[in-house]
Structure 1
Amino acid sequence: MRFHIVNFPNTETTRHYQPCAYTQKNRRFASMMTELGHEVFLYGGEENDAACAEFVPIVTRAEQSEWFGGADLYKDPINLTWSPHDVHWQISNERAVTEIAQRKGKRDFIGILGGTCQKPIADTFPELMTVEFGIGYSGVFANYRVFESYAWMHAVYGSYASVPGVMSARGQFYDAVIPNYYDVADFPFSEDKDGYFLFIGRMVEAKGIQIAIDTCTRLGVNLIVAGAGEVPEADCVEYVGVVDSTRRGELMSRARAVFVPTLYLEPFGGVHAEAMLCGTPVITTDWGVFTETVQHGVQGFRCRTLREFCDAADAVHKLDYRGIRDYAISKFSTDVVAPQYEAYFERLLTLWGDGWYAT
């Protein structure tokens, strides 16, 4: 199989850009499909460390600086704006179209994660199948879609259920749910935990940072906070800034638990999967993806009141750290997820023949 994967205009497909989950999905997808023997053309910025048949730069560092006001796109990847009419999307889409046209073959796949912002690429190549292959966002458009969780798939379906007299949206046979995926080597394991709890991610209210602070304040324990943004002041907080992939793994592996108390319906929440890969318990809210990935009292705790968050923090030391890691590897490692993607795309290939009726 042959894939054309188009990265975002604001980042590079390297391990360095950890704060952008979708950049890392593009990078890891290219590598794992290449390792399975498929041909991957990856389009992006000037830098790349993903395995692929060919890396095609379509955006320069100078252009990124111009478009995003010289912002540090490692520390602030959310500086990206989300209109297909924005100059950075228009130019990167046009260049991707030009480069794909020179390389495309029959029955190739185009893979994007920018939703409607990258729709012009799909519109240019109706003879190819465009797949949104890791949806954790709104603004979906493709005929073929892979969601990061059933919770988010159902949320997106529900958002279109507005026809009078229709109870709910219909499912789509050629959609799928495949979780996010990670290189296990990036996540060290430690049986020995230190005394701190960890919150790592964007410093926005919707990520639940205040819940982590309130819990640790009430218990009188330390909370290390890492990520981009302004951290609420509290005596329990030690802010360590934006951390690289090595420091990220160290902090996660030694934490008593990682807080991921997202207030909105979390499509995936990569931090909680990363923490579990380190053998570290997670403390989450009780909706979204967590209902699928966190067995209450096994890999962590799903909570609905401050009392429950405090009880969870008091109890995490009783959990089986090795069991948490083994579970996470069985769910989220690239070795496990890559065959799921391969099977999904093989299913799509049947649409060139008998499709749903293929034997």
Structure 2
Amino acid sequence: MKIAQIAPLFESCPPKLYGGTERIVSYLTEELVQQGHDVTLFASGDSQTAATLVPCGDMALRLNPVVRDWLPHYIVMLEQVRQRADEFDVLHFHVDMVHYPLIRDFADRTVTTQHGRLDLPDLMPFYRAFPEVPLSSISDHQRLPMPPVNWAGTVYHGLPQDLLPFKAQPQGGYLAFLGRISPEKRPDRAIEIATAAGMKLKIAAKVDKADQPYWDTVIGPMVAAHPNVEFIGEINEQQKADFLGNATALLFPIDWPEPFGLVMIEAMACGTPVIAFRCGSVPEVIDHGLSGFIVDSMDDAIRAVRQIGELDRAEVRAAFDARFTATRMANDYLDLYRNLAGVRAAMRRQPLLAVSA
């Protein structure tokens, strides 16, 4: 198939540091190329890919000090997509909603993956205005707040099978928190859980400008007050393997409707079990008692830390291999592409074109 992948421009594909959506777009793109598909990636110019790259700007917007407004950059990218839309069998968008007015004439051969939360009231009138656009979710729970729309499928995220090595015997003796410092991610809970369980906690996370006050007033002082807590900051892909692989467990103490939670399957790939609060996608990702523990309270989480040795790290990795590889993700998306109305119609026309030729 000839496939266009339209990525966010905030980070490169793959991102140099934090950037869950761009990371998934990269993994999907490379796997599709590996399987022999003709893939064009619309992304920031500093992206690295085996696909045909259409550079939309010199570098990731978050890392470009001269960028003040992201919207003009997206409009320029979408104009390039519009001009070339007829070249592709399917166009896969990962840019939320800014492209919707553009694609109405060919929406039946597009899919838009929803990577964020969908429970915000401002979104409801928008999606009611575009009920025909095919959407894919990254968990079934993510869909629940939405009005009736054209769901094409749910596709769970996946990672390249050899990206993060399995670690049978972790050496660190610590609990890990990885991601972003924000109130909904609840790093405060992670600190309290580790302290109550008598364990060291390492926090590898970025602090966005919007979350700087939360760091300054809540998390920073907590880190300073707890000698068992170490704040590392943002880490890259190479550092992630060591950070997660040597952890006794990953704490995922969220307090929001998490659409997926990529860090959970990153930990699982290392064999590191996950202790996660029952929110959003967590029950769809974690097999309780196999790849981790799903908890409902702080007391449950503290007990889970003390029981983590009961889990077999090889079984944690096996759960990843069975459910969350990039190959499985790409195959699921290919099934979704082939079931789009516009793609099915084009496939029905192909034999007729061959006969007439």
Q: Which residue of 2 aligns with 1:35?
A: 34
Q: Which residue of 2 aligns with 1:150?
A: 140
In the alignment, does 2:264 pair up with 1:272? Answer: yes
In the alignment, does 2:184 pair up with 1:203? Answer: no
Task: List per-residue Cα deviations over 1:89-111 (Å, max 9, x = no partner).
Answer: 233323332x3345333663222
Task: List per-residue Cα deviations over 1:153-207 (Å, max 9, x = no partner).
Answer: 223x3xx2xxxxxxxx5x74x5201101111222111111231000011011110
Q: Is the Cα–Cα contact under 8 Å of residues 110 and 122 in structure 1 kept in the other structure?
A: no
Q: Is the Cα–Cα contact under 8 Å of residues 58 and 96 in structure 1 kept in the other structure?
A: no
Secondary structure of 1:46's aligned partner = coil
Distance 1:347 1:129 in 2: 9
Q: Which residue of 1 aligns with 2:19?
A: 20
Distance 1:280 1:188 in 2: 11
Distance 1:185 1:207 in 2: 28
Q: Which residue of 2 aligns with 1:7?
A: 7
Secondary structure of 2:97's aligned partner = helix
Find the partner of 2:244 among 230, 249, 252: 252
Secondary structure of 1:115's aligned partner = coil
TM-score by length of 1: 0.82
Q: Which residue of 2 aligns with 1:239?
A: 231
Task: List per-residue Cα deviations over 1:254-301 (Å, max 9, x = no partner).
Answer: 100001111001110111111011111000011311111212221111
Q: Is the Cα–Cα contact under 8 Å of residues 117 and 258 in structure 2 kept in the other structure?
A: no
Structure 1 residue runs of 4+, over 4 Å off? Answer: 139-142, 351-354
Q: Is the Cα–Cα contact under 8 Å of residues 117 and 257 in structure 2 kept in the other structure?
A: no
Q: Which has the higher contact order (CA 8 A, sep 6+)?
A: 2
Gaps spanning 5+ residues in structure 1: where?
Answer: 69-86, 161-168, 355-359
TM-score by length of 2: 0.82
Q: Which residue of 2 aligns with 1:221?
A: 199
In the alignment, does 2:105 pair up with 1:119? Answer: no
Q: Which residue of 1 aligns with 2:277?
A: 285
Distance 1:89 1:110 in 2: 20
Q: How many Å apart are 1:60 and its aligned residue? A: 2.1
Q: Which residue of 2 aligns with 1:310?
A: 302
Distance 1:100 1:208 in 2: 38
CA change 1:127–1:302 in 2 (3 A) is: closer
In the alignment, does 2:320 pair up with 1:328? Answer: yes
CA change 1:95–1:178 in 2 (3 A) is: closer
2:77 partner amino acid: R
1:198 partner amino acid: A
Alignment of 1:60-99 (within 5 A): 60-61=58-59, 64-68=64-68, 87-97=69-79, 99=80
Q: Which residue of 2 aligns with 1:177?
A: 154
Distance 1:196 1:225 in 2: 10
Once superposed, what is the RMSD of the aligned Cα atoms? Answer: 2.3
Q: Is the Cα–Cα contact under 8 Å of residues 89 and 118 in structure 1 kept in the other structure?
A: no
CA change 1:257–1:62 in 2 (3 A) is: closer
Q: Is the Cα–Cα contact under 8 Å of residues 201 and 226 in structure 1 kept in the other structure?
A: yes
Q: How many Å apart are 1:128 and its aligned residue? A: 6.1
Task: List per-residue Cα deviations over 1:291-322 (Å, max 9, x = no partner).
Answer: 11212221111111111010000011110101
Distance 1:149 1:305 in 2: 23
Give % identity: 21
2:206 partner amino acid: A
Task: List per-residue Cα deviations over 1:103-150 (Å, max 9, x = no partner).
Answer: 333663222222123335435x53662211353333465711111111
Task: List per-residue Cα deviations over 1:35-67 (Å, max 9, x = no partner).
Answer: 222211111222122221x11112124973211
CA change 1:31–1:309 in 2 (3 A) is: same
Task: List per-residue Cα deviations over 1:206-261 (Å, max 9, x = no partner).
Answer: 10211111111112210000011234323221111111101111111110000111
CA change 1:135–1:242 in 2 (3 A) is: closer
Distance 1:95 1:277 in 2: 34
Distance 2:60 2:288 in 1: 48
1:265 partner amino acid: P
Larger CA deviation: 333-342 vs 103-112: 103-112
CA change 1:62–1:199 in 2 (3 A) is: closer
